[in-house]
Structure 1
Amino acid sequence: MTLAAQPGSTDPTSNQPDPALDQSIAPDQPVADEPAVLAAGHVDLGPRYVDDEWTLLIHDDAAQPVWRDPDRTVLQVTDAALQTVPDDPVYGFLGVPAGTQVHVVPQVQHPDVVWVGWNTQDPRVMQTIDRGVTLELADVDGPGDVTMYLQAGTFSEPQVLWRSTEPPGQPMWVEVNTHTHANWVFTAPGVYLVAVRVSADLVGGAQVWATRHLRFAVGDATSTDDALAAQPGEVAAVPPSAGPDADEPGSTGGTGPWLVVGLVVVALGLAVALIVVVLRGRAVRRRVEQERTQP
């Protein structure tokens, strides 16, 4: 799904100007060196140049504005973010039953929950990119599913942007000088590594891209130290979409690739056995017919 985000600062729940989204970024804002855990306040992921290299950083505006390295930053989603999935089929894309408790980083700021959005407002980025950038969901490691969606008001249909249960990619177009927030839904507590790729065409004709991992520690019981130390592939893989025979949301079970391979092997074996039985039956019939025709 592609989002053609509108430049400027508006509240997507009302399409009215929102002071919380009205920001500008100074060109000399530093990149912090120290590790950080961000459990509340305003943060955005966005492209930035570091030592003339295109990359994706986290802009932390909770106190003194600063850019942070995603590898040294944990986005802690505490139990203050718990919400109940409504009994409404419009939220079926979340893949969990109505009444399920999930952690939600909300589209509209909650004072006790980290507020994660994205921006294309770094001054050098705005000067060098051609119209905008593309954000993609490259991969997700975690104990549950991750979904990001927009919803313009209570009675509007949700607009799904990213789902970890779908193939990687799901490009989202973001115009220059954009600042936007969305709903992030995590179906189970634990450590998540969310790989995000940012790419752009530059006004000079070159192409740039980078992939970085956002580190989420979801739930009060989840260790932020574990989230900071986690490496891609070391946390539980995201299970497939829930189906009639799938495990409960948040489990690490479900139909895995080895089970699929095993079923294919069994099917091939049965097919070969059937062919052998048919050929043997034909051979036996030919011998019987030959014996009947002999004097």
Structure 2
Amino acid sequence: MAQEFPTRPITLVVPYSAGPTDAQYRKLAELASRSLGQPIVIENKPGGNGTIGPVQMARLAKPDGYTVAASTVSLLRQPHMQPVDWNPLNEFTWIIGLGGYTFAIAVRDDSPLKSLKDMIVWAKANPGQLTYGTPGQGSSLHLLMEALAHQAGFQAVHVPFKGGGETTTAMLGGHVMVTLNNVGSVITQAEARKVRILNIFDAERLSRLPDVPTSKELGYDIIYSSPYGLVGPRNMPGAVVKRLHDAFKTAMETPDNKALLDNLYQVPWYRSTEQYTKWTVEAYQQERRFVERAGLLKQP
């Protein structure tokens, strides 16, 4: 079957509209199609914090590999936040882990908060007065700040927005003191010296931002890159899974993809099918802890 697959175009459901995630999957689809010998057509289905598209795919598509979806940690978080009639550990075939976002805390360049330590000291001295913007209630960035506040022992006021661009605009306009965003969304303003990046949440410093420390090296046990990958319906044939895995792994390793990751300030995050499947079990529990800490755990 692996030799026969694919004999027609493949549909890749991306649960977001135009932006860094869409751009990355379009590039990967273009590169993977070269190995597969068939085009991969992107179908954007935003909604449900990135869950509606993949869940519909899992429910409606045949497990033949011709319809797959982009997967983000929202699939592992949403069931902890609201009642759903699906289980991410059972509904999907987790094909391959592809990459991750670099998340950061940023302030206006003229802010008196010159470092993460400054921010935490100020927040402790002024309980409940530090305001921070994120791209939404229950987003990875919201939960990250709550995790940091829990570890560092401060309180802050969350101000949710519809997207990363709005959070940066609000910060520049003085409506919030701090923003949490992916680095790619604030780097232009940082390079123009309108924004200062206080820290990132990766395991190591970025080579392109050598002066920006990680939260880990500052003493906080938080490493989070919000990985994304590729999923299909459950019960996909192993040979088809391997064919897709191999094509996307080859795509990941191309200079074109590496250049795009660098440009978007994202990081490669390769996980084999077996590793990705195992990771989801651990991440599912981690997301529950994050959600509970933020006070967003669904009620029984």
**TM-score computed with the length of structure 1 as normaliser:** 0.24
Mark the structure with the bigger radius of gyration. Answer: 1
Higher share of residues assigned helix: 2
Higher share of residues assigned strand: 1
Higher relative contact order (Cα pairs below 8 Å, separated by 6+ residues): 2
**TM-score computed with the length of structure 2 as normaliser:** 0.24
